[in-house]
Amino acid sequence: MVPIYLLGILLRFGPQHGYQIKRTLAENVADFTSIKLPTIYYHLEKMEREGWVSAKRETEGTRPERTIFTITQKGREAFLDGLERQLALTYRPTFDADALFYFADHLDFSQIIRRLETYVTQMERSLAEIRRHQLAISADLPQDHRVCVGIIFSHHTLHYQAEKTWAQTTIKALLSGGNTDAQATDH
């Protein structure tokens, strides 16, 4: 995934140095990925060895030297190739919560329920944030691109909603089916 993002950014926004790519990513796709700086440099180096980008040392004013990366023809091909490979959509998630519930017999059910309740509000906050970001970002985008970005946002939204629904139904399940009679808590 990382190389696709880097090549795509270099294609769309022109030649950049590592740190600048980091900022471009932060400004444009922070909602979908969180690629760390060392990861960026790692892949830039690798892609240079592959001939997908070309590096040029540059000094601007009194600023320290920087390495500007430009996408090559070979890089454009690799980008398209990688993107087309992504057309083979797959989904096989694993959730940390799975382990939690698989071994839930070692835990206190009432405590789990309390956590799930705060989790529901967390998801609600995430959903609100997503909607806010979508409005803020897609405002100044050309129509075609806004549609695509909208698709990404709706993807995330649907999964956050799934997460919220799951937490809510789980609370109910634990309250009725679980050994909730063990909840002789204080009060």
Partner DNA sequence: CCCTCCATAGTCAGCGCTGACTATTTGCAT
Partner DNA sequence: ATGCAAATAGTCAGCGCTGACTATGGAGGG
Q: Is the dihedral of CA 176, 179, 181, 186 positive or negative?
A: negative
Select the binding partner of residue 39 from a copy of itself, DNA, none (C-beta < 5 to 8 A, by kind): DNA
Residue by residue, DSSP assigns 126-175 as: HHHHHHHHHHHHHTTS-HHHHHHHHHHHHHHHHHHHHHHHHHHHHHHHHH
Rule CB under 8 A: which residues touch a copy of itself? 1, 4-5, 8, 12, 29, 32-34, 79-80, 83-84, 86-91, 93-107, 111-112, 115-116, 119, 122-123, 126, 143-145, 147-152, 154-156, 158-163, 165-167, 169-170, 173-174, 177-179
Q: Shortest approach of a copy of itself to residue 187 CB, angstroms?
A: 21
Q: Shortest approach of DNA to residue 118 CB, angstroms?
A: 24
187 is an interface residue for DNA by CB under 7 A: no
Q: Shortest approach of a copy of itself to residue 44 CB, angstroms?
A: 17
Which of 124, 122, 130 has its CA nearest to residue 97?
A: 122
121 three-class SS = helix
User: What part of residues 12-51 is at the interface with DNA (CB under 7 A)?
Assistant: 17-20, 23, 34-39, 41-43, 46
What value does the CA radius of gyration of the chain take, rounded to a whole number of Å? 23
Taking the C-alpha atoms of residue 48 and residue 40, their distance in angstroms, rounded to an integer, is: 12
Contact letters for DNA, residues 44-63 (x by CB under 7 A): --x-------------xxxx
